[in-house]
Amino acid sequence: MIQVFLSAFDTLLKIPAEGLRLSMMRFVLLLCFLFPAFAEAQFLSEESLISRLKAGPIPEEIMSKRTVVLHTGSITAKYITVVHEGMVRAGIDAVAYFPIDQVLAGGDPEKAYNKYFNRREISCIVFLQKKSSGYAAYLTLYNGKTDFVDAGQVAWSTTASTLSQLMNDIYRFALSSYQKKNLLINEVPETELPVKTVEGTRSETFTYDLKVDNLAVPKFSDTVATRQLTEIFKSYPLRYQLTENTVPDKDLRSKGFLYVLCVIHARSGIAKELLGYTVSKSESAFVSVTYPSTEMQLKNIPADTEVYKFYVRHIDSGNVYLGTKWDADTSWQQALQNFIKGMKAEMKLD
């Protein structure tokens, strides 16, 4: 693959100046094909958080303070009941259970869950994974920040072929390590707890204020994805400026920005729920508006398929503008084009 990359780059250098811009666009798309992981660099993930952890003992606080369980989405309510019974038996006060991709769906959800965890005085996190070979659990501290765990943070982990065996391992090691101090543990697991991602008013419209106000567009964490972002935004007809993705909202505001471009990345059903759309548990797929070329088309996307959905947030009020149609897509590039083209059509912009 590296050889293909070097060959493509060498060819690019030999192209006459007049054809360079078009060739650069094709080169960027080639890089996207060769290195799809670049597009994920903007988002936290289950694996990226777990990769930060290093082996160590069970945190002592887990036997005396509150814990949240972040689990793989395929672990359903039936299995969570088994998990919670094991937690109660081990003396771990697991006060809430959330699918991890719901928590890590983007900047706004991460901020919302960080506030929620802090409000509920969470001290520990259990990462619970379902794999093809069985189950894995990681017990660690919660850092109180929007990235949830620090790099190099100590965690105790265990794996097992069955969920019952996994919970027995946690029970055995927890009680052999520390005295149980959590005495008032809820016997019923708390799931599907409401956490408000949108702080202000949600509007299924576009904001016409963007005709006069500058839009902050956060860059990606790598140059290839940012290059693609730059190319796509050349079709955006209004004022905008690329900004570093680490700049806090208050600093964007001090620089004169009133609006910021945001994105959700999660399973289709979860993405809709996070943004306040009504979702029925019986729905197995959702219709999305997409623009593969100049004409609008409809696309059926299964509820469990990961999608990207862009929207604009007003920095001061927290109000969000989602667009007039559900336009999520399976790649961030297409989702962004859907949002821009939908806005141009609705606002009659060239």
What is the DSSP secondary-structure string of 106-122?
Answer: SHHHHHHHHHHHHHTTE
Q: What is the pLDDT of residue 221?
A: 84
Q: Tell the residue number behind the tokens 């016409």, with chain if given.
A: 208
User: What letter would DSSP give residue 146?
Assistant: T
Q: Exposed e or buried b for every residue in 128-165, given b needs 16+ CB within 10 A?
A: bbbeeeebbbbbbbbeeeeebbeeebbbbbbebeebee
Q: Is the per-residue pLDDT at 350 higher than 90?
A: no
* Whole-number pLDDT of residue 7: 44
Take residue 151 and report the two structure tokens written for it.
């790099």
Spatial separation of the C-alpha atoms in residues 26 and 300, rounded to whole Å = 28
Cβ-contact 148, 49 below 8 angstroms: yes
Residues 136, 170: Cα–Cα separation, whole Å? 11
The span from the CA of 343 to the CA of 209, in Å, is: 12
Under the banding of pLDDT at 50, 70 and 90, the label for residue 42 is low
* pTM tops 0.95, yes or no: no
pLDDT band at 16, cuts 50/70/90?
A: low
Place of tokens 């707890």: 193
- Evaluate if residue 335 carries a pLDDT over 80: yes
| Residue at 201: amino acid letter | T
60-117: pLDDT as tens digits: 999 999 999 999 999 999 999 999 999 999 999 999 999 999 999 999 999 999 999 9
Q: Angle formed by the axes of helices 20-34 and 2-13, to 10°?
A: 180
What radius of gyration, in Å, describes the C-alpha atoms of the chain?
A: 23
Separation between Cα atoms, residue 264 and residue 250, nearest integer Å: 21
CATH number of 46-177: 3.40.50
pLDDT at residue 308, as a whole number? 97
What mean pLDDT is predicted for residues 47-55?
A: 95
Token code pair at residue 93: 């006060």
The CA distances from residue 195 to 83, 96, 97, 120, 261, in Å, are: 22, 11, 12, 12, 21
The yes-or-no verdict on residue 259 having pLDDT over 60 is yes
pLDDT exceeding 90 applies to what percent of the chain? 79
Residue pair 330/340 in contact (Cβ under 8 Å)? The answer is no
- What residues does each domain of the chain span? 46-177, 202-346
* 67 closest CA partner among 196, 130, 168, 156: 156
pLDDT of residue 183: 83
Structure tokens belonging to residue 331: 């790649």
Q: 230 falls in which pLDDT band (50, 70, 90)?
A: very high
- Which of 40-44, 145-149, 294-298 is predicted most confidently? 145-149
HSE at residue 275, side-chain half, CA atoms within 13 A, is 30
Q: What is the pLDDT of residue 39?
A: 43
Give the relative orientation of helices 332-346 and 223-233 as an angle to the nearest 10 degrees.
20
C-alpha 97/C-alpha 67 separation (Å) is 9
Q: Work out the pLDDT band at 38, boundaries 50, 70, 90.
A: very low
Going by pLDDT thresholds of 50, 70 and 90, the confidence category of residue 6 is very low
CA 325 to chain centre: 21
Q: How many angstroms separate the CA atoms of 138 and 14, rounded?
A: 51
Tell me the pLDDT tens digit for each residue of 162-220.
Answer: 999 999 999 999 988 888 898 889 999 999 999 999 999 999 999 999 999 999 999 98
| Predicted local confidence at residue 44, as pLDDT | 84
Pairing of strands 66-71, 93-99: parallel
Dihedral-angle region of residue 144 (phi above 0 means left; psi in -120 to 50 means alpha; beta otherwise): left
What is the model's pLDDT at position 233? 96
Chain centroid offset of residue 172 CA:
34
What pLDDT is recorded for position 215?
A: 97
Average pLDDT over residues 288-315: 95
Rounded to a whole number, what is the largest CA-CA distance in the chain? 74
Average pLDDT over the chain reads 89
Beta-carbon contacts of residue 255 (< 8 Å; ≥ 6 apart): none
